[in-house]
Structure 1
Amino acid sequence: MKEKAWSVLVKLTQEGQLSALKQQLASSDAALAVNGKHFGSSGDTLLHYAARHGHLQVMEFLINEIGMDIEVYNSDYKRPLHEAASMSQIACVVYLLNNGAKVDCLKKADWTPLMMACTRRSPEVIQELLSHGADPFLKNKDGWNCFHIACREGDPLVVQHLLQFAPCVWKTESKILRTPLHTAAMHGCEEVVNILLQRCGYISESADSCGVTPFMDAVRNGHIAVGKMLLEIHGEGHTGTIATLLSLGADLHVKDKKGRSALHMASIGQHADAARTLLQLGLGDSEDASGTTARQLAKKPDILGVFEQEQD
């Protein structure tokens, strides 16, 4: 078959033009040729294209009439189920699972279809995979499970769904000891961080193999609101953390959308040592967008004393 003819088949499959595709594959020779055909450097087959674009009838035709293997894989070892799950194609996911696709098949770097589904905000696909026995505790080559990935994407519904299905799924660390809380904090996923702090048992100041805590991840990436949550609930923000942040290149004067500085955050959490260190490092008190200074947020005697000493 000529290259132009192959291109036509790919286009028809991607567009879901079933009748035209059937005409092109009417001869037994054409059907036989396409059955083992992989396209381009990705090594995708027509079945991969159909699953990715959500063309269920095309997919059924390729499997039932052309005889394509439901577990055919491309150059990255991605199966059609990986493609359908990663693109939230629920109808294709249901069909593949009901027709024997392996729910925990692995692509390159040991990613499962469930992990791929968690890169999207698609609770229905995740539920379908879980109901067919997908293991939420499996880890990829970096030590991430599906919960790490969901926390990175930041959809609270997906995170809550996984916790409901597997209440202990949060008890995981990557190969460099990073928790899902690190991941959510680093990406500024406020709603997810709040869920993790309320429902999961992360210990205060849990550090990865480089000594980085979730608070440090949040602040050095400019996610002040997340840092505030960690200060209030975990009590992070001590002088050692601040010194480490600065050594990593964090901006001492960074402010959030409400005009609040790190000094405001220290005052909100009533952390006297943190406030003292910030003032000593040259971070002056200032008004936020509402005209409130960090000193006005100080309530406890020890942190009030810090501001009084500064005035002296």
Structure 2
Amino acid sequence: MDILAKYVQSGDVAGVENSLECKIYDPVWFRKPTNKIGDTVLHIAAREGHRRILQTFGKYGGDFEVANLDGKRPLHEAVLGEHLDCVKFLIHHGAVIDTLKRADWEGHRDILLYLLDRDNRLWDTVSNNGRTPLHTAALHGKLEATELLVAMGKYNIDSPDSCGSTPFMDAIRGGHVATADWLLSNQNVNLHKTDSMGREAVHLAAQAGAVNSMQYLIGLCPELVNQPTSTGLTNLHCAAKENQVEIIQYLIQLQCDVNIQDHKGHTALHMAAGGQHMNSVEILLQHGAVDTPNLQGTLARDLARTNTLTQLFDKWAS
């Protein structure tokens, strides 16, 4: 990182001004990458919320529409950093509110309100993978932003992205119960909607290890404990595959079926053993998991790739 970039990073306005006044830098330097992803000093200033430095760059011919290798412009960095004063400055000085990265914005309420006031069609954005600003706000648990987007937009509340994930699923996966509860209570989302892999929100909570989300969903609907996906996977399968020990323990406390098989005959023990997850395997064996062969005749023990894991199976078999 060169000296100008260091001044910008630290917010040293005097250092920036002195460097520019010494004519060490000309406008072409404002487009010079400072790192491997192509960020310029303009990106850094916007990301860190240094409005006075952005003003200084503007005086010296800085291009506020310069993009890094990911296509992000200074405005996008200011939005992600939740720097409203920088957002206002950049837009006032010609920064374009384009569609490239809008669906990635996490959703600071005041910034969203300002942007929607500038253009009330901004909510209607879909990224290449089918995600909307509402998906992103929900994923990051931005409840106020979620409420604002729903109020000002015309969303299909259960609209899926390219993986079939809805805003409600994203909130659950992220462990943001308040946002999920607001969507469920106020927008009548479909609790049992499935993604492209046949998983409901509860399975995503299990996979992600979002214990609070799991507790919330099962509190609403106790029969979800052993709820299968379209391929017969239960929450326990999903948790065991990802070594989500806390979820496994919680489900066992609720007396889930530890030996239920999916459509291929796999048990949660197969999932844990296939991932070489010692902790999950041991907890399952401790609580009555039986090493049953799947439809191909494979035991969970057969999936062990270390002597330690094999010995664990032997210990509980004896």
User: Taking structure 1 as the reference length, what is the TM-score of the superposition?
Assistant: 0.70
- Write the distance in 1 (CA, Å) between the matches of 2:164 and 2:32: 42
Q: Tell me which residue corresponds to 2:39.
A: 44
Contact in 1 for aligned 2:239/2:248 (Cα 8 Å): no
Deviations 1:109-148 (A, max 9, x none): xx22x63243xxx322222222222622312222211111
1:115 pairs with 2:104: yes
2:47 pairs with 1:30: no
CA contact (8 A) 1:181 1:193 kept: yes
Residues 86, 116 of structure 1: 8 Å contact kept: yes
RMSD, aligned α-carbons = 2.9
2:201 pairs with 194, 199, 214, which one? Answer: 214
Contact 1:88 1:117 (C-alpha < 8 Å) held by counterparts: no
When residues 141 and 195 of structure 1 are mapped into structure 2, their CA distance, relative to the original with a 3 A threshold, is same
Question: In structure 2, the residue corresponding to 1:48 is in which secondary structure?
Answer: helix
Match of 1:295 in 2: none
Q: Which residue is 1:147 aligned to? A: 134
Q: Post-superposition shift, 1:213?
A: 0.4
Matching residue within 61, 70, 74 for 1:76: 70
* Unmatched segments (≥5 aa) in structure 2: 261-318
Q: In the alignment, is the contact (CA less than 8 A) between 2:157 and 2:187 conserved in 1?
A: yes
Q: For residues 53 and 279 of structure 1, what CA distance do their matches in structure 2 show?
A: 49
Say whether the 8 Å CA contact 1:222–1:254 is kept in structure 2: no
SS in 1 for 2:26: helix
Q: Report matched runs for 1:276-291 at 5 Å.
A: 278=257
Q: 2:253 aligns with which of 261, 267, 290?
A: 261
Residue 170 of structure 1 aligns to which amino acid in structure 2? I
Q: Secondary structure at the match of 1:244?
A: coil
CA contact (8 A) 1:137 1:169 kept: no
* Alpha-carbon distance between aligned partners in 1 of 2:76 and 2:69, rounded to the nearest angstrom: 13
Check whether the contact 1:104–1:135 (CA below 8 A) recurs between aligned residues: no
Which residue pairs with 2:84 in the alignment? 90
Q: Is the 8 A contact 1:12 1:20 kept in 2?
A: yes
Q: Does the 8 A contact of 1:253 with 1:262 survive in 2?
A: no
Supply the distance in 2 between the matched residues of 1:244 and 1:169 (Cα, whole angstroms).
28
Give the distance between the partners of 1:21 and 1:172, measured in 2 at CA: 46
Percent pairwise identity: 23
Cα offsets for 1:188-208 (capped at 9, x unmatched): 211111111112232241111
Residues 185-194 or 83-92, more deviating: 185-194
Residue 101 of structure 1 corresponds to 95
Provide the TM-score with structure 2 as the length reference.
0.69
Looking at structure 1, the residues matched to 29 and 206 of structure 2 have their Cα atoms a distance apart, in angstroms, of 53
Structure 2 CA distance for aligned equivalents of residues 35 and 253 of structure 1: 52
